[in-house]
Structure 1
């Protein structure tokens, strides 16, 4: 198979990753700019509306997709390295992402110079997953890593049955590694550490992506690869529907009949992201696997647009968060809030008063504007990194 074919396959990964990065920004814009972001749950089927529900729901695809694609990319980047070098890179990059989460991203979330709360979110999940994958790569084959990842994905909900005493060592361990839905652990200095993403269920998705990377080997038949992606995607969707309908295993939150048929449907679709349940993972990754199959040779204005962002995910992620929060600060102070009101001690995020915000339509306008504003910076950095092979660029 030609080198051009390999290029197209990697480009398809960048295209899908770029799409989910663009969608991801919608959720972050909603957090900072929507009027009810801090006063109502957009996924509560009893109180939400379909437009708000699916604005939040569509962004569910982002984190699991990024984990899966990061695993595939880790496998592909390791093709020209020894196993030891691949493991070492994953361990170092994982530690780097955790450091960035604690420092730069915590400040991006809160704009709190005191770091009263340290937020461990997406980059924490990526970093810890890379640490786990880095250890597994050193000792196991890609096939064994795939199997291990699938065991975590399909089996971690069994730990929902474990009832640990609140505050016990087992409770804290399970909350951080397996079953946590967002845990605030007090620090000795009066602050908190917010463990928003558990470790092992997300690591299972990245490990599965690493094992899936073998179908992107140069000698692997293209038609067979597409068939595997399509069949796996369809199987995941069917299994999601079956397990969700049975309503017994695979998610911490069961769906329930609501006052209207539409609200019952919303309840059915409201799978748990914190932690990522088996049903949540099947629901989100099934369509992504199908999309990977159909975008392998797609080359048009839209795919090229998304690829610009997909080539520089870390750069885009950092830039878009700071831009969103800076624009929020400007909007809040311009709306008549005083500095004291905008930075009140009880605010979860500084410059984000709980009663501030706009309608959902305005949120969409801000989202599109931010994505377009980052297009040329992302394209510049992608071209710069493509021309330069400096070691530090692999960490950005």
Structure 2
């Protein structure tokens, strides 16, 4: 969808800048090495590395660290292989230098090949995810076990299925009338801003719902990490979906405002990172 909103000169400049900063072959090599190879180190634990174990946690484990006495930090997103995913994004950008038909053909080929690779590798149950799947009492549960892949850090298989589906979705969006997907474009053009805002918006929404339903309790302002909660805490799935739609709608309004703000203040360089 990028080329539908950029002029040919802008697109050329975008591609040139990407290529200047991160050559295609280097970006591809980094991406493949980190994404495909990082599961080789699943058995390496921070505790095995002594005083420098916290560095390994930042790179490849999701856990609490204490690099300095009295200072604790929870690592939610280990760097590896997300750096590889970023490098893959730079390499993937070269597709937008191609003719439209060639690009569409590559999108569907890459998407289908990636999903096929997920199915084949996952079926072997040998490599690609620290959590092996198993046959359950019925097919739906077996299917859930099959697709239940490790996200923090994202395993090779997790990235294959999610990126494969995303690429197929991109192909489908390119084949349809783009005006119907303007809300998705608005959200996608402010990725970091969307991410930061959604954390606080969801937390604020949870606080408001908790206040309305339970009043001021120990869990009202911080549901994360609180072991004691009432038995009926939370809502049924239909209500959760309604809340989700409400949050998406609010995020669209906020991101639409921010997109207009960026357009009016192009001289502020820091806005490009949001």
- Does TM, scored on the shorter chain, surpass 0.5? yes
How far is the alpha carbon of 1:153 from its aligned partner? 1.0
**Number of residue pairs aligned between Structure 1 and Structure 2:** 267
User: 2:243 is matched with which residue?
Assistant: 366
- The yes-or-no answer on 1:281 pairing with 2:218 is no
Where does structure 1 lack aligned partners over 5 or more consecutive residues?
Answer: 12-74, 87-136
Counterpart among 17, 30, 34 of residue 152 in structure 1: 34
Q: 2:214 is paired with a residue of what secondary structure?
A: coil
Does the CA-based 8 Å contact 2:58-2:79 persist in structure 1?
yes
- The yes-or-no answer on 1:232 pairing with 2:228 is no
Alignment of 1:209-228 (within 5 A): 209-217=89-97, 220-228=98-106
- The yes-or-no answer on 1:375 pairing with 2:252 is yes
CA deviation profile, 1:316-375 (whole Å, cap 9, x unmatched) = 33333222222222222222332555358xx6368x974431111111111111212333
Q: 2:73 is paired with a residue of what secondary structure?
A: strand
CA distance in 1, matches of 2:37, 2:13: 27
Does the CA-based 8 Å contact 2:57-2:65 persist in structure 1?
no
CA distance in 2, matches of 1:392, 1:146: 27
Counterpart among 65, 76, 85 of residue 205 in structure 1: 85
Q: 1:155 to 1:187 in 2, by over 3 A?
A: closer
CA RMSD of aligned residues (A): 3.0
CA distance in 2, matches of 1:288, 1:211: 16
User: 1:263 is matched with which residue?
Assistant: 141
CA distance in 2, matches of 1:82, 1:212: 11
CA distance in 1, matches of 2:76, 2:264: 37
User: 1:8 is matched with which residue?
Assistant: 4
Does the CA-based 8 Å contact 1:244-1:268 persist in structure 2?
yes
CA distance in 1, matches of 2:5, 2:155: 29
How far is the alpha carbon of 1:388 from its aligned partner? 2.9
- The yes-or-no answer on 1:348 pairing with 2:224 is yes
User: 1:388 is matched with which residue?
Assistant: 265
Q: 1:10 to 1:166 in 2, by over 3 A?
A: farther
CA distance in 2, matches of 1:335, 1:6: 44
How far is the alpha carbon of 1:392 from its aligned partner? 2.9
Alignment of 1:302-321 (within 5 A): 302-321=180-199
CA distance in 2, matches of 1:76, 1:245: 43
In the superposition, the TM-score normalised over structure 2's length comes to: 0.84
How far is the alpha carbon of 1:177 from its aligned partner? 1.3
Q: 1:274 to 1:323 in 2, by over 3 A?
A: closer
Q: Which has the higher contact order (CA 8 A, sep 6+)?
A: 1
Q: 1:77 to 1:189 in 2, by over 3 A?
A: farther
CA deviation profile, 1:179-202 (whole Å, cap 9, x unmatched) = x1x110136464521112111211
CA distance in 1, matches of 2:80, 2:225: 28
Q: 1:166 to 1:10 in 2, by over 3 A?
A: farther
How far is the alpha carbon of 1:264 from its aligned partner? 1.3
How far is the alpha carbon of 1:376 from its aligned partner? 2.8
Q: 1:374 is paired with a residue of what secondary structure?
A: helix
Q: 1:154 to 1:80 in 2, by over 3 A?
A: closer
- The yes-or-no answer on 1:176 pairing with 2:176 is no
Q: 1:260 to 1:78 in 2, by over 3 A?
A: same
In the superposition, the TM-score normalised over structure 1's length comes to: 0.60
Query: Runs of at least 4 residues of structure 1 off by over 6 A?
Result: none
Does the CA-based 8 Å contact 1:149-1:205 persist in structure 2?
yes
Q: 1:335 is paired with a residue of what secondary structure?
A: helix
CA distance in 1, matches of 2:224, 2:71: 13
